Structure 1
Amino acid sequence: MKVIVVGAGYAGTYAANRLAKKVKAAEITVINPRPDFVERIRLHQRVAGTAAAAKPLTSMLRDGITSRVATVDKIGDGVLTLGDGTSADFDYAFLAVGSTVTPLPETVPVGTWEGAEQGRAALAALPAGSTVTVIGGGPTGIETASEVAAARPDVRVRLVGPSVADCFSHEALRRVRAGLARLAVDIVDDGVTSVTGGGVHLRSGTALASDLTLWAIISGVPDLAARSGLEVNSEGRAIVDEYLRSVTDDRIFAVGDCAAVPGARMACQSAEPQAAHAADNLARLVEGHKPRPFTPRYLALGVSLGRKDAVAQFTHLDDTLRRAYIAGRTAAVVKEGACRGATFGARAAIGA
Structure 2
Amino acid sequence: MTEHRVLILGAGYAGMAAAIQLAARGTRREDVRVTLVNAQERFTERLRLHMSATGQRVAELSIPELLEGTGARFVRGWATAVDADAKLVRIDDDRVLHYDTLVYGLGSLADTSAVPGVEDHAYTLNSAQDAELLADRLARLGRGTVVVGGSGLTGVESAAEIAEQYPELDVVLLGRQEPGAAMSPKPRAYLQAALARLGVRVLSGAEVVKVLPDAVELAGGELVAADVVLWTSGTRVSPLAAAAGLTVDERGRVVTDAALRSVSHPDVYAVGDAAAIRQEYGVMHGTCQSGMPTGVHAAVSIVRTLDGRRPKPFRFGYYHTPVSLGRHDAVVQFTHPDDSPRRVYLTGRTAARYKETVTASPWPTYGRMKKLPASGAFWPRGGRFTRGMR
TM-score of the superposed pair, with normalisation by structure 1: 0.95
**Structure-to-structure mapping, 1:26-41, within 5 angstroms:** 26-41=32-47
Alignment correspondent of 2:134: 119
Deviations 1:271-329 (A, max 9, x none): 00111111111111111111100112111112100110111111112222213211110
Provide closer, same or farther for how the CA distance between residues 169 and 343 of structure 1 changes in structure 2, counting only shifts above 3 A.
farther
> 2: CA distance between counterparts of 1:215 and 1:125?
19
Contact 1:101–1:112 (CA under 8 A) maintained in structure 2: no
- Show CA shifts across 1:95-139 (max 9, x none): 111101222241111233332122111111111x32111111000
Give 1:341 shift: 5.5
Q: 2:312 aligned with 1:292, yes or no?
A: yes
How many angstroms apart in 1 are the aligned matches of 2:236 and 2:244? 17
Matching of residue 173 in structure 1 with residue 188 in structure 2:
yes
Q: What's the CA shift for 1:197?
A: 3.0
Q: C-alpha displacement at 1:51, in angstroms?
A: 3.5
Question: Cα distance, 1:31 vs. partner?
Answer: 0.5
Partner residue, 2:359: 339
Residue type of the alignment partner of 1:124: A
Note if contact 1:14-1:347 (Cα within 8 Å) is conserved in structure 2.
no
Moved more, 45-54 or 327-336: 45-54
Corresponding residue of 1:329:
349
> In the TM superposition, what are the counterparts of 1:1-150 in structure 2 within 5 Å?
1-23=4-26, 24-25=28-29, 26-52=32-58, 54-63=60-69, 64-75=71-82, 76-77=84-85, 78-103=87-112, 104=118, 105-127=120-142, 129-150=143-164
What runs of 5+ residues in structure 1 fail to find an aligned partner? none
- 1:8 counterpart SS class: coil
Q: Structure 1, residues 175-216: CA drift from partner, whole Å, max 9, x if none?
A: 111111111111111111112130121223221111111112
The percentage of aligned residue pairs carrying the same residue is 34
Is the 1:132–1:213 contact (alpha carbons within 8 Å) kept by the matching residues of 2? yes
Asked if the contact 1:193–1:201 (Cα under 8 Å) also holds between the matched residues in 2, the reply is yes
Partner of 2:292: 272
CA contact (8 A) 2:162 2:171 kept: yes
Give the whole-Å Cα distance in 2 for the aligned partners of 1:86 and 1:285.
Answer: 28
The alpha carbon displacement at 1:143 in A equals 0.5
For 1:312 and 1:65, locate their aligned partners in 2 and report how far apart those are by CA, in whole Å: 36
Matches of 1:282 and 1:43, distance apart in 2: 32
Does the aligned pair in 2 maintain the 1:230–1:249 contact within 8 Å? yes
Pair 223,200 (structure 1): closer, same or farther in 2 beyond 3 Å: same
Would the aligned equivalents of 1:308 and 1:329 in 2 still touch at CA under 8 Å? Answer: yes
For residue 339 of structure 2, the aligned residue among 306, 319, 322 is: 319
1: CA distance, partners of 2:176 / 2:59: 29
Deviations 1:57-109 (A, max 9, x none): 11232522211111112222322222233212111111111101222241111
CA contact (8 A) 1:38 1:53 kept: no
C-alpha contact (below 8 Å) 1:101/1:217 kept by paired residues: yes
Q: Which amino acid aligns with 2:152?
A: G
| Aligned-partner Cα distance in 1 for 2:176–2:363 | 32
Distance 1:347 1:248 in 2: 34
Contact 1:237–1:259 (CA<8 Å) still a contact in 2? yes
Measure the CA separation in 1 of the matches of 2:365 and 2:253: 24
Please say if residues 5 and 101 of structure 2, whose CA atoms lie closer than 8 Å, have aligned partners that are also in contact. Answer: yes
Please say if residues 170 and 323 of structure 1, whose CA atoms lie closer than 8 Å, have aligned partners that are also in contact.
no
Q: Distance in 2 between matches of 1:48 and 1:102?
A: 22
Q: Secondary structure of 1:111's partner?
A: coil
Q: 1:217 to 1:112 in 2, by over 3 A?
A: farther
Q: Give the distance between the partners of 2:277 and 2:252, measured in 1 at CA.
A: 12
- Conserved 8 A contact 1:160-1:187: yes
Structure-2 separation of matches of 1:56 and 1:240: 30
Aligned to 1:153: 167
Deviates more, 1:189-198 or 1:55-64: 55-64
Q: Which runs of 5+ in 2 are unaligned?
A: 113-117, 379-390
**Inter-CA distance 141–343: structure 2 relative to 1 (3 Å threshold):** farther
Distance 1:122 1:101 in 2: 19
TM-fit CA distance, 1:164: 2.7
Cα 1:282–1:39, aligned 2, differ >3 Å: closer, same or farther? Answer: same
Contact 2:55 2:132 in 1 (8 A): no
Taking the aligned partners of 2:170 and 2:199, their CA distance within structure 1 comes to 8
**Equivalent residue pairs, number:** 351
Tell me how far apart the structure 2 counterparts of residues 59 and 156 of structure 1 sit (CA, whole Å): 41
SS where residue 34 of structure 1 aligns?
coil
Q: 1:88 is paired with a residue of what secondary structure?
A: strand
CA distance in 2: counterparts of 1:40 and 1:176, whole angstroms: 21
> Secondary structure of 2:81's match?
strand
Aligned to 2:239: 223
